[in-house]
Amino acid sequence: MSLYALIKPFLYSMDPEKSHGLAIKALKLGAVPPCSFQDYPSLQTELFGLSFPSPVGMAAGFDKNGEVYAPLLKTGFGFVEVGTVTPKPQIGNPKPRIFRLTEDKAVINRLGFNNRGMDAMKSELEHRRKEGGIVGVNIGRNKDTRYAVQDYTLLLGELGALADYITINISSPNTEGLRGLQQREMLENLLAPLMEVREKLDRHVPLLLKIAPDMKDDELKDVAEVAGESGLDGLIVTNTTISRPATLRSKHREQLGGLSGEPLRTLATETLRTMYRLTEGKIPLVGVGGISSGQDAIARIRAGASLVQLYTALVYQGFGLVSDIKRELADHLEQQGMTSINQLIGADA
């Protein structure tokens, strides 16, 4: 039995947000065992001018303040995305705001970008050792801001030099009006000034856009076209969903917020498949949403993802899942007679 299986009943006995706080403290204290084996050469990949030791990353939302990216990397992740961070600190939405849907292996959250703000994130990232792996920063607007563009450009200007890449989050369902920024005209008006800010940075910082799984095909087509025209480096597909599959069994299934975990898997995969087709494979995609096994990661990469990210599955399986997924990926490549994960990207498209 794994260590996580032993402590899981204790973690589940407390409020999910308190349990998450305990996990952050455990990582800070070095109580989470590091990954004990080297990454497989076949899983190494070059993307955005960065060398990823594996395509398996930690999604944004876990390390909101950039406190534990170093110990997270040691658990075996090929990269870690911290945030979402906003210019000013904010407490987020009223509690309770995280719900485990245990029967469904899912989570509903309505956190609302709770974080300590840009200055606190900047302080954490300034202590970063460059040899410590790939760290991206997920940025969002404050709830009470009047001009979203100013929030995003400020964050890029202040944090761009400290991050390996920046993710523009306009797809969380928990900040009123945020998803409206995915509409074509508003997206164009957001990306143009961001590209201008990036030009003024000392180095090229890859810019990625994180999108929702709840958009219609014509909306996805608009995003794909704007992404290609604007010079975005990649798309993260997808954020949580506001939909509620009829198969949900948990008593929490009607809670407001974004649904993540296994019930999101099919929708997230189909959205990624559509986006891969719309972009003609010319813009790298990061697959996230409902990935809880090596087979899920394989399916997402075959559908067009160059990288994948996890979060909710760790709530149910612990950090040992990261090594399991990488092992399954490497074994699948060997069985297919492939020597590089790049050969698998879009294989089913």
- Indicate if the pLDDT at residue 178 is higher than 90: no
- Residue 79 token pair: 């990269």
Average pLDDT over residues 282-295: 97
- Residue 288 token pair: 């996230």
d(C-alpha 296, C-alpha 51), whole Å: 23
Residue 291 DSSP SS3: coil
Mean pLDDT of the chain, nearest integer: 94
pLDDT band at 85 (very low <50, low <70, confident <90, very high): very high
- pLDDT tens digits along 38-65: 789 999 999 999 999 999 999 999 999 9
Position 131 scores a pLDDT of 59
Q: Which residues contact 26 (CB under 8 A, 6 or more apart)?
A: 32
Specify the higher pLDDT residue, 293 or 3: 293
- 230 is annotated as an active-site residue: no
Position 49 scores a pLDDT of 95
Average pLDDT over residues 274-287: 97
Position 235 scores a pLDDT of 98
- pLDDT tens digits along 184-218: 999 999 999 999 999 999 899 999 999 999 999 99
104, 142, 224, 233 from 149: Cα distances, Å: 37, 11, 20, 19
- Residue 147 token pair: 């001009």
d(C-alpha 253, C-alpha 232), whole Å: 35
Q: With beta carbons less than 8 A apart as the criterion, state whether 205 and 166 touch.
A: yes
Q: With beta carbons less than 8 A apart as the criterion, state whether 53 and 115 touch.
A: no
Secondary structure tally for the chain: helices H, strands E: 11, 13
One DSSP character per residue, 80-93 reads EEEEEE-SS-B--S
Catalytic residue among 171, 172, 292, 306: 172
Q: What are phi and psi of 159, to 5 degrees?
A: -110, -15
- Residue 202 token pair: 């000392």
Q: With beta carbons less than 8 A apart as the criterion, state whether 313 and 324 touch.
A: no
Q: With beta carbons less than 8 A apart as the criterion, state whether 58 and 80 touch.
A: yes
DSSP secondary-structure letter at 171?
A: -
Average pLDDT over residues 104-133: 92
β strands within 174-314, DSSP E:
207-211, 234-237, 258-261, 285-288, 305-310
d(C-alpha 315, C-alpha 127), whole Å: 28
Please, what are the domains in the chain?
A: 3-344 (3.20.20.70)
Sign of dihedral through CA atoms 282, 39, 332, 56?
negative
Length of the chain counted residue by residue: 349
d(C-alpha 212, C-alpha 79), whole Å: 22
Share of the chain above pLDDT 90, in %: 88
Position 5 scores a pLDDT of 74
Specify the higher pLDDT residue, 6 or 19: 19
Q: What are phi and psi of 165, to 5 degrees?
A: -155, 160
Specify the higher pLDDT residue, 200 or 176: 200
pLDDT band at 130 (very low <50, low <70, confident <90, very high): low
145: number of CA atoms within 13 Å, CB side? 20
- Indicate if the pLDDT at residue 10 is higher than 90: no
